[in-house]
Amino acid sequence: MSSAELFLGGEAGESAYRAAMGRATDAVLSSFADDEDPYSGFSPEELADQFDEPVIPETGTGLASAIDEVAETVLAHSVGTSNPHCVAHLQCPPIIPGLAAESMLAATNQSLDSFDQAPAATVIEERVVTALCSLFDLPAMADGVFTSGGTQSNVQALLLARDRFCSRAFGRDVQQRGLPPEAEELRIVCSAEAHFTGKQAAHHLGLGEDAVVTVPTDERHRMDLDALDATLADVDGTPFALVATAGTTDFGSVDPLDDIADRAREAALWFHVDAAYGGALAVTDRRDLLDGIDRADSVAVDFHKLFYQPISCGALLLRDRASFEWMARNAAYLNPEAHDDAGVPNLVGKSMQTTRRFDALKPYLTFRALGREGLSTLIESTLELAEDAASLVANAEDFELLGDPTLNAVVFRYRPEEGMADETVSRINAATREALLADGRAIVARTTVDGVTSLKFTLLNPTTTLDDVGAMLDIIRECAESVVAGREVAE
Ligand SMILES: *Cc1c(COP(=O)(O)O)cnc(C)c1O
């Protein structure tokens, strides 16, 4: 292939691009058409065995045949995220406007670290961020930046919180001088059901996972306010951040944000809301679940979950744009104009990344195409489905429902006899989940509730119906019965 056929810019490139995109699109569509089930059931060994060609051959095969090979070996054994029976994780079916945006942002390859690498993209990201800040009712001084997702949003929020606290409490410039001697005392407070990335962030920030103090949750898996008061009253150490979760991973529960905001204000703590999952409620009629989010110092929101965008796509929003000062960088070669002229945006100073994707285009195009209403209808349909699915599980004699869903998660166990020992139930459900993955007809998640292995549907897909849920329960029952019959779980 000549370079003219490998790059966009001339006629040869144009037709090569059309041909390649057309072939890739056909490969994707036919892999969907061929796969009735969400997974082929291949084991890691079977997958490894089919890739025996060298990754870097001396001579290439040409693009068309390389695409065909990927279709056969990779797409055919990918998990069908758009399949109505793929309901394990917070892994969404990507929405078509997001896929269209993804192909445009890839082809144009804008990089948000400097204005001259991404002029319109810079302005659009800023506009999307402003719209998000107002969606969460943050004040006019709010600002934000796109991130790779909740992990990065959480670590960045806690970094800013830590450095502001160290500056105010110890007069320490952490960016320049590193952690102060008092760092060992610093604490982050969150609920026992907060996402593990809070602990991960504490590690990455040099505070250690022991810096995270967890508050017990109530029967609906929300942070318990009395327990929070007790924790704040006699915590061993110096808390600087209080983290609430809007949409926990296992149960979709939303902490009482407004009440937690009160505590954060009284104790002068940075109030971070991890709304990676539940932030999408802001466009729905259930947005009152998020009451109090407008009082956050920072909000993490993901678009690659309940906003249906292709991975990766997230944002961190800050109540006060001045908080970005704790990580400002002066790279002279990037954005020299920004140093001379305050009118030129300088996004590199707001991000932990340098070269950075124009992911903001995906929610932008989707919002423009569907409007708030269109998105709300989609999201609400999944919340209703989760409620109906929970009733279906509750009414089945051999399944045990573990709580009413707040968002899309329905957590349950197969328990064929009421008196069956928890240990046996754990073994049966764990073996059933393994059997399901090898079977491939339904992809469900596994979690542990009160020490007992359980199963979970995360019903994000607006095309999944209650009939699909019924069919999946039948498949689970079938796998569980064969697990029991095969005595694979015998002591
Ligand atoms: C998914 C999730 C995260 C991690 O976000 P990534 O996008 O996977 O980096 C953090 N917190 C919550 C509540 C989440 O749901």
The reply to whether 97 falls in a domain is: no
| Ligand 1 center–CA 45 separation, angstroms | 29
Q: Which CATH number is 52's domain given?
A: 1.20.1650.10
Tokens of 470: 């019924």
How many whole angstroms from 249 Cα to the centroid of ligand 1? Answer: 8
Looking at the fold, whether 224 and 346 belong to one and the same domain comes out as: yes
d(CA 293, CA 256): 10
In a domain, 348, yes or no: yes
Q: How many helices (H) and strands (E) does the chain have?
A: 15, 11
Domain check: are 216 and 260 in the same one?
Answer: yes
Ligand 1 pocket, residue 195 CB under 6 Å: yes
| Integer Cα distance of 367 and 397 in angstroms | 43
Q: Which residues contact 21 (CB under 8 A, 6 or more apart)?
A: 103
Answer yes or no: are the C-beta atoms of 243 and 274 closer than 8 Å.
yes
Tell me the two tokens of residue 22.
């057309």
pTM value surpassing 0.75: yes
Rounded to the nearest 10°, the torsion over CA 156, 161, 164, 166 is -110
Q: Ligand 1 pocket test: which of 89, 151, 308, 362 has the largest number of ligand atoms within 8 Å of its C-beta?
A: 151
Residue 132 near ligand 1, beta carbon < 6 Å? no
Q: What is the pLDDT of residues 453-462, one digit of tens each?
A: 999 999 999 9
State which of 78, 102, 134 marks the end of a domain: 78
Question: What pLDDT does residue 433 have?
Answer: 96
* Nearest C-alpha neighbor of 328 from the set 464, 195, 465, 163: 163
Both 439 and 469 in one domain: the answer is yes
Residue 170 pLDDT > 90: yes
User: For 236, phi and psi rounded to 5 degrees?
Assistant: -90, 100
Reference 203, options 234, 240, 159, 245; nearest CA is: 159
Residue 318 lies in a domain: yes
Q: State in Å: Cα 142 to ligand 1 middle.
A: 22
Q: Is the peptide bond before 78 cis (omega within 30 degrees of 0)?
A: no
| Same domain (yes/no): 19, 37 | yes
Residues 6+ apart with CB under 8 A from 138: 294, 296, 299, 317, 319
CA of 200 from ligand 1 middle (Å) equals 12
Same domain, 386 and 424: yes
Pocket probe for ligand 1: among 196, 199, 277, the residue whose CB has the most ligand atoms within 8 Å is 277
**pLDDT attached to residue 491:** 44
372 and 343 part of one domain: no
In a domain, 93, yes or no: no
150 lies in the same domain as 36: no
Centre of ligand 1 from the C-alpha of residue 276, in Å: 5
Q: Which of 338, 357, 376 is the last residue of a domain?
A: 357
Measuring CA to CA, which residue among 443, 434, 476, 441 is closest to residue 461? Answer: 443
Whether 343 and 465 share a structural domain: no
**pLDDT at residue 344 in the model:** 84
Q: Which amino acid is at 251?
A: F
- Tell me which residue of 197, 247, 219 sits closest to 379, measured CA to CA: 247
CA-246 nearest atom, ligand 1: 13
Residue 419: CATH number of its domain: 3.90.1150.10
Residue 271 and residue 212 share a domain: yes
**Which CATH number fits the domain that encloses residue 267?**
3.40.640.10
Residue 136: inside a domain: yes
Question: Is the model's pLDDT at 52 over the cut of 90?
Answer: no
Whether 362 is in a domain gets the answer no
Assigned domain for 84 exists: no
Whether residue 276 has its Cβ less than 6 Å from ligand 1: yes
Q: Quick one: 337 and 376 in the same domain?
A: no
Token match 């041909």: residue? 19
Domain count, the chain: 3
Q: Order of strands across the sheet with 399-401?
A: 399-401, 409-414, 452-458, 445-449
Q: Are residues 395 and 479 in the same domain?
A: yes
Token pair for 357: 């994707």
pLDDT digits (tens, 9 = 90+) for 341-393: 667 888 999 999 999 999 999 999 999 999 999 999 999 999 999 999 999 99
DSSP, res 136 = T
Residue 145: domain span: 111-357
User: Is residue 349 domain-shared with residue 378, that is, in the same domain?
Assistant: no
Q: Is 165 part of any domain? A: yes
What does the pLDDT read at residue 490?
47
Is 80 exceeded by the pLDDT of residue 340?
no
